[in-house]
Amino acid sequence: MTPSNLYVVSPTGTRHLALGAARIVVGSGADAALALLGQGVARSHAELLRNETTGEYWLQDLGTSQGTWVNDERIVSYGPLSERDEVRIGEHRLTFARAVSSQQLERQRAWRQPLPRRPAVLGRELRVDALALTSERRSALASRVHDELIDRLDLRRRDVEAMAEGDLRGEAARLLDGIMTAEWLAEVQDRQQFKQFVLDETLGLGPLDALLADDTVTEIMVNHANEIFVERAGRVERTQLNFSSERALRGVIERIVGRIGRRVDDASPMVDARLADGSRVNVAIPPIALRGPAVTVRKFARHRLGPAELIAGGAVTESMMEFLALCVEQRRNIIVAGGTGTGKTTLLNVLSSLIPANERIVTIEDAAELQLSHSNRITLEARPANAEGRGLVTIRDLVRNALRMRPDRIVVGECRGGEALDMLQAMNTGHDGSLTTVHANSPRDALSRLEVMVLMAGMDLPVAAIREQIAAAVNIVVQQTRFACGTRRVTHIVEVTGIEGARIQMQEVFRFVQTGVEPGGRVVGHYSGCGQVPAFYDALQRIGVEVDRSMFAIASPIGAA
């Protein structure tokens, strides 16, 4: 028989909820009809779906990294649910029953504590609450309120521009209270939540604010006003959040780019920006974005990762990190190669943090992402041209200028053009130990990409001369890879040993050996040395540096992970 009651046992007490709705979203977010707070609960964690024919309920996990568990087994989809099933989400346990007995009611009265929750019955009573947060009707109402609030603020624009942010939000809230008295908004029951949604869209970043505050989210992708995706734990998933209208999304975009003195319009439909917390933003609007404004946010890590975190996450082994630390200490020039989103900048940040504290560092980036704690450092950032085509400062300009700033090391966030020539020249003229990243799918491809980028400098150098420059300047190439399962690993570490004939010579010292794929899609394998000791180890031993040659031995696949 189909359960009609749901019991939620939480650390703060027990709740009895009557089932009835066709779809019930479970999570910690504002759009969750069944709110569960605490660790291990995503904003949109799972959903209960009712079969309209049989009335039975099915449980669907919404792609969370924490997981949804039924009878102590992790599930993706499960059903039909019965009285024998126990669902676990975070610290909460959900059980089902057909009816509430008098004894159960007595226990419920004893257990229940007053909680700041939404209405308890998940049937018709929640229709308007869910409407106010997720449906097309909600979007239409919010869009209309948003437009009216903007119009009323515009009437007072001179005063608004002179207001502090807190005063502006207070004035907007007062105006919104007046708008909310309209009869056409009488159907909105959760008025405070609805009001907060409109205020966030009008003065903040709308639904992006919640995603920016979520530490499990690494990237945010807005494809359309009502289509927002995020990346969690290396996997991309669609959220149930949305903007009320395209106008609201455009307003958020204008606030993002306006804070840094840039603009986006039909004449300049693409722009890169940075949020106050350092997160990197790319915006594209029509006519180049055919479906409407698109926003991509690469979140700035709140906590700086170190070698220990990379080792614990399986990105490298202790031996590999020990070798890379020695390379940084001994001023080897390192290139981190990989595709988009593979973790190149993260690894570059970790390697840069290993530079001795007494050295002077100049960092050069398109958008500042490196988080170094060195006291003697200079941070330079490229700048696009303004609307009149003036003020352009390229990475190449900054690399040239860095050479006049007495750097011990130069760290370039990414080489993608003619600056590669200047970087190679810097590496060859006393700035050993410099680091950069390159988009490439293999160490060999990384060196080929460097050749192409040097040619982009317009110096008309022969290929043989370019390869000699690369072979003399680059010492180590570290290949970073993102697998289909979302895991990121260092898959190759190679040493550039010189040039023979017309070919740059390399020897691999570490590699990741994939041995299979788990049923859930996770790649498994093991790290191994390649039996080759780096050529510069002999020179280190001659000057008295202790080195461990055993780490380069070919490893057994035992303990693959």
Report mean pLDDT in 10-residue bins for the chain, 561 residues.
Answer: 76 75 85 82 88 86 86 87 87 74 42 34 33 52 74 54 61 75 70 73 81 89 92 87 85 83 83 85 92 91 83 92 95 94 90 92 86 89 79 91 92 91 88 93 95 89 92 96 90 95 93 89 90 92 89 72 56
* pTM as predicted: 0.65
Give me the pLDDT at residue 472, please: 93
In this structure, what token pair is assigned to residue 258? 């306006």
Q: Are 18 and 57 in contact (CB under 8 A)?
A: no
Q: Is the dihedral of CA 113, 114, 118, 121 positive or negative?
A: positive
Domain boundaries, the chain: 5-127, 134-298, 307-498
| Residue 100, token pair as written in the block | 């509430």
Closest CA to 7 of 78, 108, 125, 130: 108
Both tokens of 370, joined, read: 């490196």
Query: 307-498: CATH homologous superfamily?
Result: P-loop containing nucleotide triphosphate hydrolases (3.40.50.300)
User: pLDDT value at position 110?
Assistant: 37
What is the pLDDT, as a whole number, of residue 121?
33
Residues, the chain, total? 561
> Helix and strand tally (H, E) in the chain?
16, 26
Distance from C-alpha of 194 to C-alpha of 185, rounded to nearest angstrom: 10
Other beta carbons within 10 angstroms of residue 482's beta carbon come to: 18
* 552, 529 contact by CB (below 8 A): yes
Sign of CA dihedral 304, 305, 307, 312: positive
Domain 134-298 has CATH 3.30.450.90: yes
Q: Residue 142 in contact with residue 201, Cβ under 8 Å?
A: yes
| Mode of pairing for the β-strands spanning 280-284 and 334-338 | unpaired
Cβ neighbours of residue 176 closer than 8 Å, sequence gap 6 or more = 145, 149, 195, 198, 199
- Going from the C-alpha of 488 to that of each of 144, 307, 369, the distances in angstroms are 44, 14, 19
Amino acid at position 371, single letter? Q
Q: Among 121, 115, 118, which residue's Cα sits nearest to residue 11? A: 115
| Angle CA 203–196–218, to nearest 5 | 70
Per CATH, the architecture of 5-127 is what? Sandwich (2.60)
Per-residue pLDDT, 102: 45
pLDDT of residue 490: 96
CA distance 454 to 467: 10
Taking the C-alpha atoms of residue 350 and residue 343, their distance in angstroms, rounded to an integer, is 11
Residue 17, Ramachandran bin (φ over 0: left; ψ between -120 and 50: alpha; else beta): beta
Which one-letter DSSP state was computed for residue 388? Answer: T
- The CA distance from 364 to 185, in Å, is 52
pLDDT for res 2: 67
Tell me phi and psi for residue 478, to 5 degrees. Answer: -110, 120
